[in-house]
Each structure stands twice: as structure tokens, then as C-alpha cells.
Structure 1
Amino acid sequence: MSVPLNIKQRNAVLNSMINGLKKEKDALLKANKKDMERYHGGDIAMFDRLKVDDDKINAMIRSLQELEQQEDPLNIERFHFDHDNGMSVTNRTAPFGTVLIIYESRPDVTIEAAGIAFKSGNKILLKGGKESLNSNLVLVDLWHKALTENQISTAWVEYLEYDRSETQAFLENPTQKLDLIVPRGGEKLIAFVKQHATCPVIVSGRGNNFVFVDVDADQQMALDIIINAKTTKISACNALDKVLIHDRLENKTVFIEKLISKLLESNVTIWVDNHLEGFENTSKINNEAIWYEEFLDYKILMGAVNHLDEAIDKINRYGGGHSAAIITKNEATANEFMNRVDTAAVYHNASTRFTDGGQFGLGGELAISTDKLHQRGPIGLQHLVTNKWYVKGNGQVR
């Protein structure tokens, strides 16, 4: 483990993983069926994330293929300076070392996130949830076969089959070197990791994403984007939770009635604020705290605002710092919105569902960070690196 893997070795392992996934597809589906049958929780988002089917396996394979084709993120020169005294000072990218990924439900994390961490030269520790144990063990076995096939130690990818108390003990007093932790899951998991971790944590944060329908919006576009962002995958952190509608939108009542009708077609529960009270098939909220909630469910909250400033203030106050969109034909309004809204990704006339490493050209993501250090939004291969200074001299002293 002390000897770094070169890019040829890392890519060879990824290629072996691609072949392994293709060969062991049936075994993975069989293991996942066991996990699905044993899951009795009521969380529909977790259930959706737990499921592995042909499409998800193909997505895993595709992410590894894209990852294999990407340039080596290590040893890239970021800065160079020749000192007056003759020293050569260079800053280059370097791996973190050991990355622990703690995640709930999603077996695809065992492939996509681990793949990104591995190609960026890190040792991987995987701590999956008990609900996806059978699926994860099949995938970790594929990692070990891929490593062994390329004469590389299986210690590069380890699975930690710990319960909650064992995980807490490991976070507080790691039994091996630990350089970075990435929790991927709900707010309780994130809070648990941040409370007990003794090394840096990248938070793959919650969503609670907003769409603002401006006075100058193309209303059909607004309908299409809202329905897409809300209903296509409710378990995704880039799904829509809140809609703000400009009070002076032309034919506002007709637009809202159309939107309600469309949402009901997907069995979405609709809440409204006191400005929109009275529409059929909606319920008025009785607690402002609901504006802070990420639903991860077929639920949505709609409210009215009087101007752009009010929309921006509301998003910055209640949003999760993940994604926000404005629907408008006015470029100046869109630019002001995008510059002032404090989220990792901002959109003009597009769905928040695109906040994703694959969609952003990164070939997948380790996580989607709502922190501002050291990387915000989707964390791809080129972001999962730290840096190192190389100073060459010939006897200089200070």
C-alpha cells in the first residue's frame, strides 16, 4: 500500500471491473433481490435508491468506462515559481491517501464513488448500509477480483461491515490512517459523521431545491421543467421541492391550475402558502418550518412572491445550498438571479435534475457537496485531489 499505483495500473483495474460487472450481472441482480425483499422501511426514496436493475448496472458500467478514459488527475502542475535564490518551487496535485465513504442504500456508490476515489490514487474504505449488504458484498468481491487479476493488493478497496456503535468507534479512533470522509445519505447520517469524525468531512448535502417562475417566464417551459424536476426521480438530491411564482405572472391563476393538474397526474401532494390559499386539491401550510424541508417524496410546496429580491432572499434563507432555477425570458433578470442565489448550481430555463457529475461532464461524481471547501457541487475525478509542494535546491538556507 505504500507504493502508489501508476495510471496504467489504475485503468487496468477499472477495465477489469467493467468486464466483471458484465459477467456477474445476474449474481448482482440476485443479491439485490434479497436486499429488496428484506427491506421493510417506509422510506420510498431509500427503497428507490436500493434497487438495482439493468439500467443501473449499465449506468455503473458506463461510469467506469468514462472514468477509464479520463486523464490522470495526479501530478498535474498547478503553480511554478523560480526563487531568486535559485530554488525551483512547484505545486502539483496529489492523492488524499485513504478515503472513507459512508453511504445508505445505494449499491451504485460502491462502483461510481469508489471508482472515482480509486482512479485519483486513493485507498478506499466503504461503509455501506445494512439494507444493501448483499449487493455491496458482490460488488466489493468484484473489486477484489479486479485488483487480484492485476497483481494489486486487495487492501486498496476494503468493506467495513460495522454496526452503528462500531462505526462511531472507528470515526472517533480510526484503527488505520484516515484522510477524508464522505458521507452520502440523509441528514441524520451526515450529522452523525460530523459529530464523531476526527478528520476532514465532505458533506454530500441535502437538496431542498427551488424553481422561481418569473413574471417574464415562458409558462409552458415552466410547467415542463417543474414536472420534470419534481417527478422523474423523487429520491435524487437534485429533485425539486419548492416553487415560487411571481405574483404578477400573466394569467397566474390559470398557470397554477394547470400546474396543479399536472402534478396530480403523478400523485404529488401539493402544499401552498397563504398567498396561494384556496386552490383545489392543495393544503395550506400551518408551519413555516416546512420551507426548510427536503421532501424526497411526491410532495411539493408552492408560494407566491412579489419581486425578484423576495425570491432570492427566500431561496437563500430556506434552500439547502444545492440547486435553484429561474424560468424567465429576461436575460438581465436571469443573470441577477444566478449571481445572487447562493447554491452550488444555478439554472436559467433548465431543470435542477441536471446537477449530477455525469451530466456536468465529469463522468459521475464522488458526491455532490453543498460545502464550500474544498469543492462545491458535483465532485469528480479532477476534484478529489489535494496538492503537494516540490522544492528543489542546491544547498539554499534561509
Structure 2
Amino acid sequence: MKIISTEIKNKVLDSMMRLLDDNRSSILEANKKDLDLFNVADQAMYDRLIVTEDKIDGMMTSIKEVRLQEDPVGKTISKQQLENGLDITNKTAPFGTIMIIYESRPDVTIEAAVLAFKANNKILLKGGKEALHSNTILVELWHKALAENKLSNDFIQQLNMNREETQNFLKNPTEKLDLIVPRGGERLINFVKEYAKCAVLVSGRGNNFLFVDKEADWEKSVKVIMNAKTEKISACNALDKILINSNIENYEQKLTDIYQLLNAKGVETLVDADVNNILKDAQQIKDDAIWKEEFLAMKCCLGSVESLDEAVEKINHNSGGHSATIMTANKNTALQFMEEVDCAAVYQNASTRFTDGGQMGVGAELAISTDKLHHRGPLGLKQLVTNKYYVFGDGQIRE
């Protein structure tokens, strides 16, 4: 793949920021077409679909942040000279062609493209049909930005395919694919893994847990729980499951308080059998499989555990590997939790809502990876490159 200079890449990003600003009304009009066709009963997806003036500002900010970041291509990772005289340099290199499959969010059309492009990759954008009009105008603006700087549209392409066409494309792509990133639920992830012929980097489900330890500050715990559960239900970093140590002081009163607060906010709260013994009017969980579900709704589960070990075991058995929080004043307890819980991001005394590229200092993100290879957590600009060895010799042969 031909390497584009940082100067040219940044000029494309300058053009795109200007085009977004100049075409606000057209973007909002296209988004309205999508909204008019959408079933607003799915509030979480509707929240992801809608584009506002503030969201357009956010798109421009994402591009600006990436523009200001150092170009990740061609950076030296290591360098050595062997006894036989070979000079070996390991450098960062583009992946090549990345395909991303996502639903609802037109801002992904901006963030995914800006990150892939600055890392010198081509990107194939497979958005959901519910955002077709919004995504189409944004890709058209990308193409204008590329054309203004004498670059091919091939760098940023939109794929409009149904499920069967997508399946066929994954099995027999019309061009070489180097990486696929499915952003969605388990059904989408399993679909891609079944048919893809290249590397798949999973942006997994949320289903995030919060554990209130017996040494937790209750006031802080309530504040964090309410933020993580209710601030934005459509986000993959929202809270779904709450575990409370039954040995905490005033346990029964604290259970009652948090249950009533959640209900007052409109959160449907299901409880396990132990909690149901105290909150007798609460709806008891009938099927333990619900502990594995990501809700993306005003809904959560409230359970009781007797120890840190029990909490860790329950989280590792059920969570999506995304984010988990412990509320505790004991640093040793927190460290044990953070070391043993198998998630991309683990927290002490903070909301899971911070698992986000912008909030974690990465900037714009392609996704939140729950895989352990090639990267875990927010996929920012630096994570969208691979590596390549440059070996310089002078006629050496291996004997």
C-alpha cells in the first residue's frame, strides 16, 4: 500500500471539517429521513441514530483531535544490529483494508474513517439500513474531501448490503480484507466470525458489573450506580448488573434505598432470591441466563454476594469482558478485584461510563475491543497499525 504523507492526510481532515460545517442542514435533513422511518420504541437505538448540531460539532472535534495526533505509521518499535552485520528495524505499518460493521450511529462513519485514514488504511463502512441516508451523505462528504486533495475514493467506501450479500462478501470478498471489526451484539459477532476469512477484532457486548464491597462509601456508591445505569442507556459502557456484599453495614436498608432510587428513575430492577427475601415486592430473577444479558435499556439486576471472591467469580462467569467497577475504600481489596476480574477496563470508585476513547485520553475510537489480541480496550489511532521488519544486509547468507 502506498504511504500518504502526514501533510496530505491532515489536509484531507481539514477539508472534511470544513465540509461538515458547511453542510450541516443537509446532514440534519438526511438524518431526519432516517428518523422518520425508524420505530422510536427502541429508545437506545434511536438515541444512537439521531444527529443534532451538537453531534455534528462532536464529529468535527473527533476529526480535529485525530489531526493533532502524531501519525502512527513508520514509527520505530525496535532496532538492532546482529553479529552477522544485518541491521534489523521493526516499524509500525498500516493494516491495509479494514471493514467495520455497525448499527445506528452515523458518528461512527466519521470516527472510524478518520482513524483508519490517518493510519493509512482503507476502510469499508457497513452501516445499518436504519442510518442509510445519514451515512450516505457523510461518505459523500468524505469523497469530496479526498477529491479536493487528489486522492481516490477507495480509501473510504460505503457498503450497502443485506444480510445474505454481507455473508457472501465475507466469504468471497471482492478485495483483500485485513481486519474486520463488528460493532454490535453477539449475533452479529458470531455471524462475522463464522464467515470471515481474515482477522476479526471483536468490539464486544457491555453487560457491565458494579460490586459494592463491605468497606464501600455508600453515598459514593449510589452516585456512581445512578450515573452508570441511567446517564446513557444506549452506550456499551452503561451498567447492567449490581452486586452488593451482604456483610456491609445496614445491608437491608441500603438494598431498600438503592432499589427505590432505581425505581424512582424508571429502572426496571430484577433481584436474585437472596435480595428477594428482603425486597419481597421486587420481581425475582427466574432464569440465571439473564446475568449474561446486555440490556441497553432502563433495566438492571440486583444481587447479593458474601465475599470478594464470590463477586469476582460471578462477574467473570457472566460479563462481556468490557468494564467492571468495585466500590471500596480498601485499596488492597480494590487491587485484588482489578487484577482478578477479566475485563478490558476495571475501576475503583468510578463509573463504567468512562470506558471511552475520548474519556481515557485516546481520542476518537474505532471501537472498544474486548479481545486480548491485537489490542484490548479503546481502539484509537495508535492501535490501527500493525508492524513490519526492515532487514538491511550486504550479501549475508544463512549457513
The residue number in structure 2 matching 1:5 is: 4
Give me the whole-angstrom Cα distance separating, in 2, the residues matched to 1:9 and 1:256.
Answer: 58
Q: Tell me, what secondary structure is at the counterpart of 1:32?
A: helix
The residue number in structure 1 matching 2:378 is: 378
Give me the whole-angstrom Cα distance separating, in 2, the residues matched to 1:202 and 1:21.
Answer: 29
The residue number in structure 2 matching 1:219 is: 218
The residue number in structure 2 matching 1:113 is: 112
2:338 aligned partner, one-letter code = M
Give me the whole-angstrom Cα distance separating, in 2, the residues matched to 1:188 and 1:10.
Answer: 36
User: Identity over the aligned pairs, expressed in percent?
Assistant: 55
Give me the whole-angstrom Cα distance separating, in 2, the residues matched to 1:79 and 1:245.
Answer: 47
Give me the whole-angstrom Cα distance separating, in 1, the residues matched to 2:333 and 2:134.
Answer: 47
2:303 aligned partner, one-letter code = G
Give me the whole-angstrom Cα distance separating, in 2, the residues matched to 1:257 and 1:116.
Answer: 46
The residue number in structure 1 matching 2:192 is: 193
C-alpha displacement of 1:240: 0.3
The residue number in structure 2 matching 1:202 is: 201
2:279 aligned partner, one-letter code = F
Give me the whole-angstrom Cα distance separating, in 2, the residues matched to 1:41 and 1:199.
Answer: 36
C-alpha displacement of 1:151: 1.2
C-alpha displacement of 1:55: 2.2
Q: Does 1:279 align with 2:267?
A: no
Superposed, which structure 2 residues align to 1:137-156 within 5 Å?
Answer: 137-156=136-155
Mean Cα deviation higher: 254-263 or 121-130: 254-263
C-alpha displacement of 1:43: 2.9
Give me the whole-angstrom Cα distance separating, in 1, the residues matched to 2:371 and 2:260.
Answer: 36
C-alpha displacement of 1:385: 0.7
Cα pair 1:125 1:160 within 8 Å, conserved: yes
The residue number in structure 2 matching 1:76 is: 75
Mean Cα deviation higher: 239-248 or 187-196: 187-196
Give me the whole-angstrom Cα distance separating, in 2, the residues matched to 1:329 and 1:182.
Answer: 38
With normalisation by structure 2, the TM-score equals 0.98
The residue number in structure 2 matching 1:294 is: 294
Give me the whole-angstrom Cα distance separating, in 2, the residues matched to 1:260 and 1:303.
Answer: 11
Per-residue Cα deviation, 1:29-71 (whole angstroms, up to 9, x for no partner): 1111110110127432222111111222121111111100000
Give me the whole-angstrom Cα distance separating, in 1, the residues matched to 2:270 and 2:176.
Answer: 48
Give me the whole-angstrom Cα distance separating, in 1, the residues matched to 2:43 and 2:193.
Answer: 25
Q: 1:211 to 1:157 in 2, by over 3 A?
A: same
2:392 aligned partner, one-letter code = K
C-alpha displacement of 1:282: 2.3
Per-residue Cα deviation, 1:132-161 (whole angstroms, up to 9, x for no partner): 000000100110010011111111111111
What runs of 5+ residues in structure 1 fail to find an aligned partner? none
1:49 aligned partner, one-letter code = R
Q: Name the count of aligned residue pairs.
A: 397
Give me the whole-angstrom Cα distance separating, in 2, the residues matched to 1:281 and 1:235.
Answer: 28
Superposed, which structure 2 residues align to 1:1-398 within 5 Å?
Answer: 2-40=1-39, 42-277=41-276, 278-279=278-279, 282-398=282-398
Per-residue Cα deviation, 1:224-270 (whole angstroms, up to 9, x for no partner): 00000000111111000000000011111222222122212321000
1:288 aligned partner, one-letter code = D
2:306 aligned partner, one-letter code = N
Give me the whole-angstrom Cα distance separating, in 2, the residues matched to 1:327 and 1:140.
Answer: 43
What runs of 5+ residues in structure 2 fail to find an aligned partner? none
C-alpha displacement of 1:326: 0.3
Give me the whole-angstrom Cα distance separating, in 2, the residues matched to 1:19 and 1:151.
Answer: 17
Q: 1:281 to 1:19 in 2, by over 3 A?
A: farther
Superposed CA RMSD: 1.1
Give me the whole-angstrom Cα distance separating, in 1, the residues matched to 2:344 and 2:330.
Answer: 22
2:384 aligned partner, one-letter code = L
2:46 aligned partner, one-letter code = F
Per-residue Cα deviation, 1:109-142 (whole angstroms, up to 9, x for no partner): 1001111111111011111111000000010011
Give me the whole-angstrom Cα distance separating, in 1, the residues matched to 2:250 and 2:128.
Answer: 48
2:55 aligned partner, one-letter code = K
C-alpha displacement of 1:280: 5.9
Give me the whole-angstrom Cα distance separating, in 2, the residues matched to 1:280 and 1:241.
Answer: 21
Q: Tell me, what secondary structure is at the counterpart of 2:45?
A: helix
Q: Tell me, what secondary structure is at the counterpart of 1:165?
A: helix
Give me the whole-angstrom Cα distance separating, in 2, the residues matched to 1:184 and 1:10.
Answer: 26
Per-residue Cα deviation, 1:63-90 (whole angstroms, up to 9, x for no partner): 1111000001011111111110111001
Q: Tell me, what secondary structure is at the counterpart of 1:374?
A: coil
Cα pair 1:209 1:241 within 8 Å, conserved: yes
Give me the whole-angstrom Cα distance separating, in 1, the residues matched to 2:12 and 2:234.
Answer: 31
Per-residue Cα deviation, 1:266-312 (whole angstroms, up to 9, x for no partner): 21000000110041652110111111111111101010110110011
Q: Tell me, what secondary structure is at the counterpart of 1:108?
A: helix
C-alpha displacement of 1:335: 0.7
Give me the whole-angstrom Cα distance separating, in 2, the residues matched to 1:189 and 1:341.
Answer: 25
C-alpha displacement of 1:3: 2.5
